[in-house]
Chain A
Amino acid sequence: MQLQSMYQEIILDHYRNPHHKGLREPFDTEVHHVNPVCGDEVTLRVTLKDVDGEPVVEDISYDALGCSISQASASVMSDLVIGKPVAEAMTISQAFLGLMQSKGEGSPDEDLLEDAVAFAGVSRYPARIKCALLGWMAWKDATAQALEVGRQ
Protein backbone atom coordinates (compact mmCIF):
# COMPACT_ATOMS: atom_id res chain seq x y z
CA MET A 1 0.00 0.00 0.00
CA GLN A 2 1.45 3.34 -1.16
CA LEU A 3 -0.83 5.41 1.08
CA GLN A 4 1.67 5.61 3.93
CA SER A 5 4.31 6.97 1.57
CA MET A 6 2.07 9.93 0.80
CA TYR A 7 0.45 10.33 4.20
CA GLN A 8 3.57 10.22 6.37
CA GLU A 9 2.95 10.38 10.11
CA ILE A 10 4.49 13.89 10.15
CA ILE A 11 1.92 15.06 7.62
CA LEU A 12 -0.99 13.59 9.54
CA ASP A 13 0.32 15.17 12.77
CA HIS A 14 0.49 18.62 11.18
CA TYR A 15 -2.98 18.07 9.66
CA ARG A 16 -4.53 17.21 13.03
CA ASN A 17 -2.63 19.92 14.94
CA PRO A 18 -1.68 22.68 12.52
CA HIS A 19 0.94 25.17 13.72
CA HIS A 20 0.51 28.96 13.55
CA LYS A 21 -3.06 28.62 12.23
CA GLY A 22 -5.57 31.46 12.72
CA LEU A 23 -5.47 35.03 11.41
CA ARG A 24 -3.52 37.47 13.55
CA GLU A 25 -3.06 41.24 13.72
CA PRO A 26 -1.11 43.26 12.86
CA PHE A 27 0.03 42.25 9.39
CA ASP A 28 1.64 43.84 6.35
CA THR A 29 -0.24 42.07 3.58
CA GLU A 30 -3.02 39.54 3.19
CA VAL A 31 -3.70 37.30 0.19
CA HIS A 32 -6.44 34.85 -0.68
CA HIS A 33 -5.54 31.92 -2.92
CA VAL A 34 -7.78 29.14 -4.20
CA ASN A 35 -7.24 25.87 -5.96
CA PRO A 36 -9.87 26.14 -8.70
CA VAL A 37 -9.94 22.37 -9.21
CA CYS A 38 -11.26 21.54 -5.77
CA GLY A 39 -12.20 24.88 -4.24
CA ASP A 40 -9.60 24.67 -1.47
CA GLU A 41 -8.76 28.11 -0.18
CA VAL A 42 -6.26 29.84 2.03
CA THR A 43 -6.19 33.36 3.45
CA LEU A 44 -2.66 34.19 4.51
CA ARG A 45 -1.08 37.19 6.23
CA VAL A 46 2.58 38.10 6.34
CA THR A 47 4.40 40.47 8.68
CA LEU A 48 7.99 41.42 7.85
CA LYS A 49 10.48 43.25 10.06
CA ASP A 50 13.73 44.95 9.26
CA VAL A 51 16.81 43.44 10.90
CA ASP A 52 20.01 45.34 10.06
CA GLY A 53 18.57 46.41 6.73
CA GLU A 54 17.45 42.91 5.79
CA PRO A 55 13.77 41.86 5.65
CA VAL A 56 12.92 39.00 7.99
CA VAL A 57 9.64 37.08 8.27
CA GLU A 58 8.28 38.08 11.65
CA ASP A 59 4.98 36.21 11.43
CA ILE A 60 2.71 34.25 9.12
CA SER A 61 -0.88 33.62 10.06
CA TYR A 62 -3.44 31.85 7.95
CA ASP A 63 -6.88 30.38 7.73
CA ALA A 64 -7.33 27.49 5.32
CA LEU A 65 -10.02 25.13 4.10
CA GLY A 66 -8.68 22.07 2.39
CA CYS A 67 -7.36 18.55 2.37
CA SER A 68 -4.79 17.03 4.70
CA ILE A 69 -1.96 17.72 2.27
CA SER A 70 -2.73 21.43 1.83
CA GLN A 71 -3.38 21.95 5.56
CA ALA A 72 -0.26 20.11 6.67
CA SER A 73 1.88 21.85 4.06
CA ALA A 74 0.78 25.30 5.25
CA SER A 75 1.60 24.29 8.81
CA VAL A 76 5.07 22.96 7.91
CA MET A 77 5.71 26.03 5.73
CA SER A 78 4.94 28.44 8.58
CA ASP A 79 7.27 26.50 10.91
CA LEU A 80 10.06 26.71 8.35
CA VAL A 81 9.68 30.33 7.33
CA ILE A 82 8.78 32.29 10.47
CA GLY A 83 11.88 33.99 11.89
CA LYS A 84 13.96 33.49 8.72
CA PRO A 85 15.35 36.25 6.51
CA VAL A 86 13.15 36.53 3.40
CA ALA A 87 16.07 35.58 1.12
CA GLU A 88 16.67 32.35 3.02
CA ALA A 89 12.94 31.58 3.15
CA MET A 90 12.72 32.05 -0.63
CA THR A 91 15.56 29.53 -1.04
CA ILE A 92 13.61 27.03 1.04
CA SER A 93 10.49 27.76 -0.99
CA GLN A 94 12.41 27.10 -4.24
CA ALA A 95 13.77 23.85 -2.84
CA PHE A 96 10.25 22.74 -1.89
CA LEU A 97 8.95 23.61 -5.37
CA GLY A 98 11.83 21.56 -6.83
CA LEU A 99 10.88 18.62 -4.61
CA MET A 100 7.24 18.84 -5.73
CA GLN A 101 8.32 18.79 -9.38
CA SER A 102 10.60 15.77 -8.86
CA LYS A 103 7.97 13.10 -9.69
CA GLY A 104 9.08 11.08 -6.68
CA GLU A 105 12.71 11.01 -7.86
CA GLY A 106 14.01 13.92 -5.77
CA SER A 107 16.62 13.61 -3.00
CA PRO A 108 15.58 16.49 -0.76
CA ASP A 109 18.01 18.41 1.43
CA GLU A 110 16.78 17.50 4.88
CA ASP A 111 18.80 20.25 6.59
CA LEU A 112 17.07 22.84 4.46
CA LEU A 113 13.53 21.41 4.23
CA GLU A 114 13.24 19.70 7.64
CA ASP A 115 9.65 18.33 8.08
CA ALA A 116 8.83 19.35 4.50
CA VAL A 117 10.82 16.35 3.17
CA ALA A 118 7.81 14.28 4.25
CA PHE A 119 5.99 15.61 1.19
CA ALA A 120 8.38 13.84 -1.22
CA GLY A 121 5.78 11.09 -1.76
CA VAL A 122 3.18 13.66 -2.81
CA SER A 123 5.27 14.55 -5.88
CA ARG A 124 4.34 11.18 -7.39
CA TYR A 125 0.68 12.26 -7.55
CA PRO A 126 0.28 15.14 -10.06
CA ALA A 127 -3.23 15.92 -8.83
CA ARG A 128 -1.96 16.58 -5.30
CA ILE A 129 1.07 18.79 -6.02
CA LYS A 130 -1.13 21.88 -6.16
CA CYS A 131 -2.49 21.00 -2.72
CA ALA A 132 1.02 20.91 -1.25
CA LEU A 133 1.97 24.18 -2.95
CA LEU A 134 -1.17 26.20 -2.09
CA GLY A 135 0.20 27.66 1.19
CA TRP A 136 3.69 28.21 -0.20
CA MET A 137 2.41 30.11 -3.23
CA ALA A 138 0.20 32.27 -1.01
CA TRP A 139 3.21 33.02 1.20
CA LYS A 140 5.41 33.95 -1.77
CA ASP A 141 2.71 36.24 -3.14
CA ALA A 142 2.05 37.93 0.20
CA THR A 143 5.75 38.38 0.86
CA ALA A 144 6.42 39.84 -2.58
CA GLN A 145 3.59 42.32 -1.96
CA ALA A 146 4.94 43.17 1.50
CA LEU A 147 8.40 43.85 0.06
CA GLU A 148 6.80 46.07 -2.58
CA VAL A 149 4.94 48.02 0.12
CA GLY A 150 8.17 48.30 2.16
CA ARG A 151 9.98 49.81 -0.80
CA GLN A 152 7.42 52.54 -1.27
Chain B
Amino acid sequence: MSELPGGVSQLPGYLDVEAIRSDFPALARTVRNGNPLVYLDSGATSQKPVQVLDAVRSFYELHNGAAHRGAHLLSEEGTEIYEDARAKVAAFLGAHADEIVFTKNATEAINLVAYTLTSSIKPGDEILITEMEHHANLVPWQQLAQRTGATLRWFKVLPDGRLDVDTSLITERTKIVAVTGQSNVTGVIPPVAEIARLAHEAGALLLADGAQLVPHHPVDVTALDVDFLAFSGHKMLGPLGLGVLYGKRDRLEALPPFLAGGDMIEVVRMEGSTFQPPPARFEPGVPPAAEAAGLGAAIDYLSALGMDNVAAHEEVLTAHALDALREINGVHILGPDTTKDRGGAVAFEVEGVHPHDVGQVLDELGVAVRTGHHCAWPLHRALGVQASTRATFYVYNTHAEVNALADGIRYAQRFFGARQ
Protein backbone atom coordinates (compact mmCIF):
# COMPACT_ATOMS: atom_id res chain seq x y z
CA MET B 1 0.00 0.00 0.00
CA SER B 2 1.50 3.31 -0.99
CA GLU B 3 1.55 6.26 1.33
CA LEU B 4 -1.74 8.08 1.73
CA PRO B 5 -1.84 11.36 -0.14
CA GLY B 6 -1.95 14.59 1.83
CA GLY B 7 -5.21 15.64 0.26
CA VAL B 8 -7.49 13.31 2.18
CA SER B 9 -10.44 15.24 3.44
CA GLN B 10 -13.46 14.50 5.59
CA LEU B 11 -15.65 16.95 3.72
CA PRO B 12 -17.42 15.61 0.66
CA GLY B 13 -16.68 17.60 -2.44
CA TYR B 14 -13.58 19.16 -1.03
CA LEU B 15 -9.96 18.38 -1.83
CA ASP B 16 -6.96 19.94 -0.11
CA VAL B 17 -5.47 20.98 -3.42
CA GLU B 18 -2.32 22.55 -2.00
CA ALA B 19 -1.45 19.29 -0.25
CA ILE B 20 -2.23 17.32 -3.41
CA ARG B 21 -0.06 19.62 -5.52
CA SER B 22 2.92 18.98 -3.27
CA ASP B 23 2.76 15.32 -4.38
CA PHE B 24 3.28 16.25 -8.05
CA PRO B 25 6.88 17.24 -8.86
CA ALA B 26 5.99 18.46 -12.37
CA LEU B 27 3.63 21.07 -10.97
CA ALA B 28 6.52 22.75 -9.15
CA ARG B 29 8.54 23.42 -12.30
CA THR B 30 8.57 26.56 -14.36
CA VAL B 31 8.01 26.64 -18.09
CA ARG B 32 8.43 29.33 -20.77
CA ASN B 33 9.58 32.75 -19.60
CA GLY B 34 10.04 31.39 -16.07
CA ASN B 35 6.28 31.12 -15.60
CA PRO B 36 4.89 28.48 -13.24
CA LEU B 37 3.22 25.59 -15.04
CA VAL B 38 -0.57 25.85 -15.24
CA TYR B 39 -1.39 22.35 -16.44
CA LEU B 40 -4.83 22.23 -18.05
CA ASP B 41 -4.23 19.23 -20.34
CA SER B 42 -4.98 16.27 -18.07
CA GLY B 43 -7.54 15.08 -20.60
CA ALA B 44 -4.56 14.25 -22.84
CA THR B 45 -2.41 12.85 -20.03
CA SER B 46 -2.37 13.54 -16.31
CA GLN B 47 0.66 14.42 -14.21
CA LYS B 48 1.97 11.75 -11.82
CA PRO B 49 2.27 11.94 -8.03
CA VAL B 50 5.44 10.77 -6.22
CA GLN B 51 3.50 7.76 -4.89
CA VAL B 52 3.16 6.48 -8.47
CA LEU B 53 6.76 7.31 -9.39
CA ASP B 54 7.96 5.55 -6.22
CA ALA B 55 5.95 2.42 -7.02
CA VAL B 56 7.47 2.21 -10.52
CA ARG B 57 10.97 2.88 -9.23
CA SER B 58 10.63 0.40 -6.39
CA PHE B 59 9.55 -2.29 -8.84
CA TYR B 60 12.67 -1.83 -10.95
CA GLU B 61 14.97 -1.44 -7.93
CA LEU B 62 13.81 -4.48 -6.00
CA HIS B 63 11.31 -6.70 -7.80
CA ASN B 64 12.30 -6.63 -11.46
CA GLY B 65 11.53 -10.10 -12.68
CA ALA B 66 9.39 -11.27 -15.60
CA ALA B 67 5.94 -11.93 -14.17
CA HIS B 68 4.25 -15.30 -14.85
CA ARG B 69 7.51 -17.01 -15.77
CA GLY B 70 10.75 -17.91 -14.07
CA ALA B 71 11.34 -20.10 -11.04
CA HIS B 72 12.88 -17.40 -8.90
CA LEU B 73 11.76 -15.00 -6.22
CA LEU B 74 11.94 -11.83 -8.32
CA SER B 75 9.64 -13.32 -10.92
CA GLU B 76 7.23 -14.36 -8.17
CA GLU B 77 7.27 -10.87 -6.71
CA GLY B 78 6.74 -9.38 -10.17
CA THR B 79 3.72 -11.68 -10.63
CA GLU B 80 2.33 -10.69 -7.25
CA ILE B 81 2.69 -6.98 -7.98
CA TYR B 82 1.11 -7.36 -11.42
CA GLU B 83 -1.83 -9.41 -10.15
CA ASP B 84 -2.25 -7.14 -7.12
CA ALA B 85 -2.67 -4.20 -9.52
CA ARG B 86 -5.30 -6.17 -11.45
CA ALA B 87 -7.21 -6.74 -8.22
CA LYS B 88 -7.05 -3.02 -7.40
CA VAL B 89 -8.43 -2.09 -10.82
CA ALA B 90 -11.22 -4.64 -10.38
CA ALA B 91 -12.15 -3.31 -6.93
CA PHE B 92 -12.06 0.27 -8.27
CA LEU B 93 -14.72 -0.65 -10.86
CA GLY B 94 -16.77 -3.14 -8.86
CA ALA B 95 -15.57 -5.99 -11.11
CA HIS B 96 -13.83 -9.34 -10.65
CA ALA B 97 -10.08 -9.60 -11.21
CA ASP B 98 -10.49 -12.07 -14.10
CA GLU B 99 -12.63 -9.48 -15.91
CA ILE B 100 -9.69 -7.06 -16.12
CA VAL B 101 -7.39 -7.29 -19.17
CA PHE B 102 -4.29 -5.11 -19.25
CA THR B 103 -3.62 -3.53 -22.64
CA LYS B 104 -1.27 -0.84 -23.94
CA ASN B 105 -3.94 1.86 -23.65
CA ALA B 106 -7.66 2.50 -24.17
CA THR B 107 -7.15 2.52 -27.95
CA GLU B 108 -5.72 -0.99 -27.88
CA ALA B 109 -8.50 -2.14 -25.57
CA ILE B 110 -11.15 -0.97 -28.06
CA ASN B 111 -9.24 -2.48 -30.97
CA LEU B 112 -9.05 -5.78 -29.09
CA VAL B 113 -12.84 -5.97 -28.99
CA ALA B 114 -13.35 -4.65 -32.54
CA TYR B 115 -10.90 -7.20 -34.00
CA THR B 116 -12.00 -10.23 -32.02
CA LEU B 117 -15.67 -9.60 -32.92
CA THR B 118 -14.82 -9.88 -36.63
CA SER B 119 -15.90 -13.50 -37.01
CA SER B 120 -19.25 -12.91 -35.27
CA ILE B 121 -20.34 -9.96 -37.44
CA LYS B 122 -22.02 -10.66 -40.78
CA PRO B 123 -23.03 -8.53 -43.79
CA GLY B 124 -26.31 -6.79 -42.94
CA ASP B 125 -25.46 -6.55 -39.24
CA GLU B 126 -25.20 -3.07 -37.77
CA ILE B 127 -22.62 -1.41 -35.57
CA LEU B 128 -23.91 1.63 -33.71
CA ILE B 129 -21.60 4.40 -32.50
CA THR B 130 -21.99 8.15 -31.93
CA GLU B 131 -20.89 11.31 -33.68
CA MET B 132 -19.12 12.52 -30.53
CA GLU B 133 -16.58 9.72 -30.31
CA HIS B 134 -12.84 10.13 -30.04
CA HIS B 135 -11.26 8.60 -33.16
CA ALA B 136 -10.15 5.68 -30.93
CA ASN B 137 -13.80 4.64 -30.52
CA LEU B 138 -14.75 5.45 -34.09
CA VAL B 139 -12.12 4.28 -36.59
CA PRO B 140 -11.87 0.70 -35.19
CA TRP B 141 -15.64 0.31 -35.76
CA GLN B 142 -15.43 1.75 -39.29
CA GLN B 143 -12.73 -0.83 -39.97
CA LEU B 144 -14.81 -3.64 -38.44
CA ALA B 145 -17.70 -2.65 -40.69
CA GLN B 146 -15.40 -2.66 -43.73
CA ARG B 147 -13.97 -6.07 -42.83
CA THR B 148 -17.34 -7.70 -42.29
CA GLY B 149 -19.74 -5.93 -44.64
CA ALA B 150 -21.73 -4.67 -41.66
CA THR B 151 -23.31 -1.20 -41.70
CA LEU B 152 -22.02 1.55 -39.42
CA ARG B 153 -24.71 3.75 -37.90
CA TRP B 154 -24.43 6.55 -35.37
CA PHE B 155 -26.37 8.67 -32.91
CA LYS B 156 -26.08 12.30 -33.95
CA VAL B 157 -25.02 15.21 -31.80
CA LEU B 158 -27.58 17.92 -30.99
CA PRO B 159 -26.63 21.59 -31.48
CA ASP B 160 -26.00 21.94 -27.73
CA GLY B 161 -23.47 19.11 -27.90
CA ARG B 162 -25.64 16.49 -26.19
CA LEU B 163 -26.32 13.12 -27.73
CA ASP B 164 -29.50 12.51 -29.71
CA VAL B 165 -30.34 9.01 -28.48
CA ASP B 166 -32.56 8.02 -31.39
CA THR B 167 -33.82 4.67 -30.16
CA SER B 168 -35.01 3.69 -33.64
CA LEU B 169 -31.35 3.09 -34.51
CA ILE B 170 -31.19 0.17 -32.10
CA THR B 171 -32.75 -2.83 -33.85
CA GLU B 172 -32.38 -6.60 -34.00
CA ARG B 173 -29.68 -5.98 -36.64
CA THR B 174 -27.55 -4.08 -34.11
CA LYS B 175 -24.71 -6.27 -32.84
CA ILE B 176 -22.67 -3.81 -30.82
CA VAL B 177 -23.13 -0.29 -29.55
CA ALA B 178 -19.99 1.73 -28.73
CA VAL B 179 -20.40 5.00 -26.87
CA THR B 180 -18.16 7.33 -24.91
CA GLY B 181 -18.62 7.65 -21.15
CA GLN B 182 -17.67 11.31 -21.40
CA SER B 183 -16.80 13.40 -24.44
CA ASN B 184 -13.16 14.47 -24.51
CA VAL B 185 -14.22 17.74 -26.15
CA THR B 186 -17.53 18.94 -24.71
CA GLY B 187 -17.42 16.98 -21.47
CA VAL B 188 -20.92 15.64 -22.27
CA ILE B 189 -21.79 12.51 -20.28
CA PRO B 190 -24.21 10.43 -22.37
CA PRO B 191 -26.74 8.18 -20.59
CA VAL B 192 -24.59 5.04 -20.90
CA ALA B 193 -26.67 2.89 -18.52
CA GLU B 194 -29.84 3.68 -20.48
CA ILE B 195 -28.16 3.00 -23.83
CA ALA B 196 -26.79 -0.27 -22.40
CA ARG B 197 -30.30 -1.32 -21.39
CA LEU B 198 -31.66 -0.58 -24.87
CA ALA B 199 -28.74 -2.40 -26.51
CA HIS B 200 -29.26 -5.46 -24.33
CA GLU B 201 -33.01 -5.52 -25.03
CA ALA B 202 -32.11 -5.71 -28.73
CA GLY B 203 -29.56 -8.44 -28.08
CA ALA B 204 -26.55 -6.20 -28.76
CA LEU B 205 -23.34 -5.74 -26.81
CA LEU B 206 -22.36 -2.39 -25.27
CA LEU B 207 -18.83 -1.03 -25.11
CA ALA B 208 -18.15 2.22 -23.26
CA ASP B 209 -15.04 4.30 -23.90
CA GLY B 210 -14.16 5.26 -20.34
CA ALA B 211 -10.93 7.14 -21.09
CA GLN B 212 -12.44 10.44 -19.90
CA LEU B 213 -14.92 8.91 -17.43
CA VAL B 214 -12.98 6.52 -15.20
CA PRO B 215 -10.31 9.06 -14.12
CA HIS B 216 -12.92 11.60 -13.04
CA HIS B 217 -16.04 9.87 -11.70
CA PRO B 218 -16.94 6.92 -9.50
CA VAL B 219 -17.66 4.05 -11.91
CA ASP B 220 -19.51 0.85 -11.05
CA VAL B 221 -19.59 -1.50 -14.03
CA THR B 222 -22.48 -3.43 -12.52
CA ALA B 223 -24.65 -0.32 -12.25
CA LEU B 224 -23.70 0.82 -15.77
CA ASP B 225 -24.22 -2.75 -16.99
CA VAL B 226 -21.69 -2.34 -19.80
CA ASP B 227 -20.28 -5.46 -21.49
CA PHE B 228 -16.93 -3.78 -22.09
CA LEU B 229 -15.24 -0.69 -20.68
CA ALA B 230 -11.94 0.64 -22.03
CA PHE B 231 -9.67 3.22 -20.42
CA SER B 232 -6.06 4.34 -20.07
CA GLY B 233 -3.98 4.44 -16.89
CA HIS B 234 -1.97 7.50 -17.86
CA LYS B 235 -5.02 9.79 -17.77
CA MET B 236 -5.66 8.79 -14.13
CA LEU B 237 -2.26 9.55 -12.54
CA GLY B 238 -0.74 6.24 -13.71
CA PRO B 239 2.23 5.61 -16.01
CA LEU B 240 2.08 5.79 -19.79
CA GLY B 241 1.77 2.54 -21.69
CA LEU B 242 -0.85 0.68 -19.68
CA GLY B 243 -4.56 0.57 -20.40
CA VAL B 244 -7.45 -1.56 -19.25
CA LEU B 245 -10.21 -3.52 -20.90
CA TYR B 246 -12.95 -4.55 -18.50
CA GLY B 247 -15.22 -7.22 -19.92
CA LYS B 248 -18.00 -9.26 -18.35
CA ARG B 249 -16.61 -12.74 -17.74
CA ASP B 250 -18.81 -14.51 -20.30
CA ARG B 251 -18.28 -11.76 -22.89
CA LEU B 252 -14.50 -12.06 -22.66
CA GLU B 253 -14.78 -15.85 -22.66
CA ALA B 254 -16.60 -15.70 -26.01
CA LEU B 255 -13.84 -13.74 -27.74
CA PRO B 256 -11.00 -15.46 -29.64
CA PRO B 257 -7.38 -14.34 -29.05
CA PHE B 258 -6.27 -10.92 -30.37
CA LEU B 259 -2.45 -10.70 -30.19
CA ALA B 260 -0.82 -14.11 -29.99
CA GLY B 261 2.41 -15.27 -28.41
CA GLY B 262 3.82 -16.53 -25.14
CA ASP B 263 1.78 -16.76 -21.95
CA MET B 264 -1.62 -16.69 -23.65
CA ILE B 265 -1.45 -20.36 -24.69
CA GLU B 266 -2.41 -23.63 -23.04
CA VAL B 267 -0.66 -26.13 -25.31
CA VAL B 268 1.37 -25.38 -28.41
CA ARG B 269 2.08 -28.03 -31.07
CA MET B 270 3.44 -27.40 -34.53
CA GLU B 271 -0.04 -28.19 -35.91
CA GLY B 272 -1.87 -25.70 -33.72
CA SER B 273 -2.41 -24.29 -30.23
CA THR B 274 -5.03 -23.95 -27.53
CA PHE B 275 -5.47 -20.86 -25.46
CA GLN B 276 -5.76 -19.71 -21.86
CA PRO B 277 -9.04 -18.41 -20.48
CA PRO B 278 -9.31 -14.61 -20.06
CA PRO B 279 -7.61 -12.43 -19.00
CA ALA B 280 -4.38 -14.34 -19.86
CA ARG B 281 -5.75 -15.12 -23.35
CA PHE B 282 -5.40 -11.44 -24.21
CA GLU B 283 -2.04 -10.73 -22.55
CA PRO B 284 0.79 -12.26 -24.60
CA GLY B 285 4.40 -11.39 -23.84
CA VAL B 286 6.13 -10.32 -20.63
CA PRO B 287 3.59 -8.28 -18.69
CA PRO B 288 4.19 -4.57 -17.94
CA ALA B 289 4.43 -5.12 -14.19
CA ALA B 290 6.19 -1.83 -13.40
CA GLU B 291 3.42 0.10 -15.15
CA ALA B 292 0.86 -2.01 -13.31
CA ALA B 293 2.57 -1.19 -9.99
CA GLY B 294 2.26 2.48 -10.92
CA LEU B 295 -1.40 2.17 -11.89
CA GLY B 296 -2.08 0.35 -8.62
CA ALA B 297 -0.52 3.24 -6.71
CA ALA B 298 -2.57 5.72 -8.77
CA ILE B 299 -5.75 3.87 -7.84
CA ASP B 300 -4.73 3.90 -4.18
CA TYR B 301 -4.16 7.64 -4.46
CA LEU B 302 -7.53 8.33 -6.12
CA SER B 303 -9.36 5.98 -3.75
CA ALA B 304 -7.86 7.75 -0.74
CA LEU B 305 -9.09 11.08 -2.11
CA GLY B 306 -12.46 9.50 -2.84
CA MET B 307 -13.85 9.53 -6.38
CA ASP B 308 -16.94 11.42 -5.20
CA ASN B 309 -14.64 14.17 -3.94
CA VAL B 310 -12.66 14.12 -7.18
CA ALA B 311 -15.84 14.51 -9.23
CA ALA B 312 -17.18 17.27 -6.96
CA HIS B 313 -13.89 19.19 -7.09
CA GLU B 314 -13.86 19.06 -10.89
CA GLU B 315 -17.49 20.10 -11.08
CA VAL B 316 -16.78 23.26 -9.09
CA LEU B 317 -13.75 24.08 -11.26
CA THR B 318 -15.72 23.42 -14.44
CA ALA B 319 -18.55 25.68 -13.29
CA HIS B 320 -15.99 28.40 -12.56
CA ALA B 321 -14.37 27.94 -15.99
CA LEU B 322 -17.74 28.05 -17.79
CA ASP B 323 -18.61 31.28 -15.93
CA ALA B 324 -15.20 32.85 -16.58
CA LEU B 325 -15.24 32.01 -20.30
CA ARG B 326 -18.83 33.12 -20.77
CA GLU B 327 -17.84 36.55 -19.49
CA ILE B 328 -15.28 37.03 -22.29
CA ASN B 329 -16.74 38.60 -25.43
CA GLY B 330 -15.94 36.59 -28.54
CA VAL B 331 -15.46 33.30 -26.70
CA HIS B 332 -17.86 30.47 -27.59
CA ILE B 333 -18.00 27.33 -25.49
CA LEU B 334 -18.55 24.05 -27.35
CA GLY B 335 -21.31 21.97 -25.80
CA PRO B 336 -23.47 22.55 -22.74
CA ASP B 337 -22.70 25.61 -20.64
CA THR B 338 -23.85 24.08 -17.38
CA THR B 339 -22.25 21.24 -15.41
CA LYS B 340 -25.34 19.01 -15.60
CA ASP B 341 -24.22 15.64 -17.04
CA ARG B 342 -21.04 17.35 -18.11
CA GLY B 343 -17.49 16.67 -16.95
CA GLY B 344 -14.39 18.81 -16.76
CA ALA B 345 -13.45 19.20 -20.43
CA VAL B 346 -14.07 22.73 -21.66
CA ALA B 347 -13.44 23.36 -25.35
CA PHE B 348 -13.99 26.78 -26.82
CA GLU B 349 -13.48 29.03 -29.82
CA VAL B 350 -12.06 32.53 -29.70
CA GLU B 351 -13.52 34.64 -32.48
CA GLY B 352 -10.81 35.90 -34.83
CA VAL B 353 -7.99 33.89 -33.23
CA HIS B 354 -7.18 30.39 -34.46
CA PRO B 355 -6.90 27.74 -31.70
CA HIS B 356 -3.23 27.13 -32.53
CA ASP B 357 -2.54 30.78 -31.94
CA VAL B 358 -4.58 30.81 -28.71
CA GLY B 359 -2.60 27.79 -27.52
CA GLN B 360 0.71 29.41 -28.46
CA VAL B 361 -0.05 32.56 -26.48
CA LEU B 362 -1.25 30.52 -23.49
CA ASP B 363 1.90 28.39 -23.64
CA GLU B 364 4.00 31.54 -23.56
CA LEU B 365 2.20 32.41 -20.30
CA GLY B 366 2.80 28.92 -18.88
CA VAL B 367 -0.77 27.69 -19.46
CA ALA B 368 -0.77 24.22 -21.09
CA VAL B 369 -3.92 23.42 -23.13
CA ARG B 370 -4.74 21.27 -26.14
CA THR B 371 -5.57 22.74 -29.55
CA GLY B 372 -6.96 21.26 -32.75
CA HIS B 373 -9.78 18.77 -33.15
CA HIS B 374 -8.64 16.62 -30.19
CA CYS B 375 -9.03 13.41 -32.22
CA ALA B 376 -12.76 14.13 -32.54
CA TRP B 377 -13.02 15.51 -36.05
CA PRO B 378 -16.61 14.44 -36.80
CA LEU B 379 -17.77 16.05 -33.53
CA HIS B 380 -16.16 19.35 -34.50
CA ARG B 381 -17.76 19.11 -37.93
CA ALA B 382 -21.16 18.43 -36.34
CA LEU B 383 -20.79 21.51 -34.17
CA GLY B 384 -19.73 23.57 -37.19
CA VAL B 385 -16.26 24.22 -35.83
CA GLN B 386 -12.95 23.59 -37.60
CA ALA B 387 -10.87 23.30 -34.44
CA SER B 388 -10.94 24.43 -30.83
CA THR B 389 -8.88 25.10 -27.74
CA ARG B 390 -9.49 22.77 -24.80
CA ALA B 391 -8.84 23.03 -21.09
CA THR B 392 -9.27 19.95 -18.90
CA PHE B 393 -9.19 19.79 -15.12
CA TYR B 394 -8.06 17.30 -12.52
CA VAL B 395 -7.47 16.86 -8.80
CA TYR B 396 -4.54 19.29 -8.67
CA ASN B 397 -6.10 22.23 -10.51
CA THR B 398 -7.05 25.42 -8.70
CA HIS B 399 -9.40 28.34 -9.18
CA ALA B 400 -6.37 30.60 -9.68
CA GLU B 401 -5.45 28.44 -12.68
CA VAL B 402 -8.93 28.91 -14.16
CA ASN B 403 -8.39 32.67 -13.79
CA ALA B 404 -4.97 32.35 -15.48
CA LEU B 405 -6.71 30.67 -18.42
CA ALA B 406 -9.26 33.48 -18.72
CA ASP B 407 -6.56 36.16 -18.45
CA GLY B 408 -4.50 34.36 -21.09
CA ILE B 409 -7.44 34.25 -23.51
CA ARG B 410 -7.93 38.00 -23.08
CA TYR B 411 -4.24 38.56 -23.72
CA ALA B 412 -4.43 36.47 -26.91
CA GLN B 413 -7.38 38.56 -28.09
CA ARG B 414 -5.42 41.77 -27.54
CA PHE B 415 -2.28 40.33 -29.17
CA PHE B 416 -4.12 39.40 -32.35
CA GLY B 417 -6.35 42.47 -32.29
CA ALA B 418 -9.50 40.38 -32.05
CA ARG B 419 -12.86 41.81 -31.03
CA GLN B 420 -13.41 41.75 -27.28
Choice from B33, B364, B372 contacting A38 with Cβ under 8 Å: B372
**A83 in the interface, Cβ–Cβ < 8 Å?**
no
**Which residue of chain A has its CB nearest to the CB of B356?**
A67
A3: nearest chain-B partner, CB-CB:
B364
Task: Say yes or no: A38 contacts B357, CB within 8 Å.
Answer: no
The B interface is mostly helix, strand or loop, or mixed, namely helix
| Residue among A3, A37, A40, A128 facing the most chain B CB atoms (10 A cut-off) | A3
Q: Is the CB of A68 within 8 A of B354?
A: yes
Contact partner, A131, options B33, B356, B361, B386, Cβ 8 Å: B356
Chain A residues within an 8 Å CB radius of B372: 37-39
B: interface residue count bin: 10 to 19
Shortest CB-to-CB span from B14 to chain A, Å, is 37
- When the two chains form their complex, are residues B33 and A67 in contact, meaning their CB atoms are under 8 A apart? no
A67 to B389, CA, bound (A): 12
Contact with A along B385-420 (1 / 0, CB 8 A): 011000000000000000000000000000111000
The answer, yes or no, to whether B360 is at the interface (CB within 8 Å) is yes
**CB <8 Å contact, B360 and A3:** yes
Assembled-state Cα–Cα distance A104/B354 (Å) = 23
B386–A65 CB distance below 8 A:
yes
Complex Cα gap A40–B356 (Å):
10
Residue on A nearest B412 in the bound complex, by CB:
A3
Flag if B357 contacts A67 (CB, 8 Å).
yes
Q: Which residues of B sit under 8 angstroms from A3, Cβ to Cβ?
A: 360-361, 364, 415
Give the number of chain A interface residues (Cβ < 8 Å).
19
Tell whether B275 is near chain A: CB-to-CB under 8 Å. no
Q: Does B371 contact A (CB under 8 A)?
A: yes
Convert A50-91 into 0s and 1s, putting 1 for each residue whose CB lies closer than 8 angstroms to a CB of B. Answer: 000000000000000111110000000000000000000000
Q: Supply 6 further A-B pairs (C-beta < 8 A) apart from A38-B355, A39-B387, A66-B356.
A: A7-B357, A7-B415, A40-B387, A66-B354, A67-B356, A68-B356
Q: Which residues of B contact A (CB under 8 A)?
A: 32-33, 354-357, 360-361, 364, 371-373, 377, 380, 386-387, 415-417
* A to B CB contacts below 8 Å, 11 in the list: A1-B33, A2-B32, A2-B364, A6-B360, A7-B357, A7-B415, A37-B372, A39-B386, A40-B387, A67-B355, A128-B356
Ranked nearest first, the 10 interchain pairs of A and B with the lowest CB-CB distance are: A67-B356, A38-B372, A67-B354, A39-B373, A3-B364, A68-B357, A39-B387, A67-B357, A38-B387, A65-B386
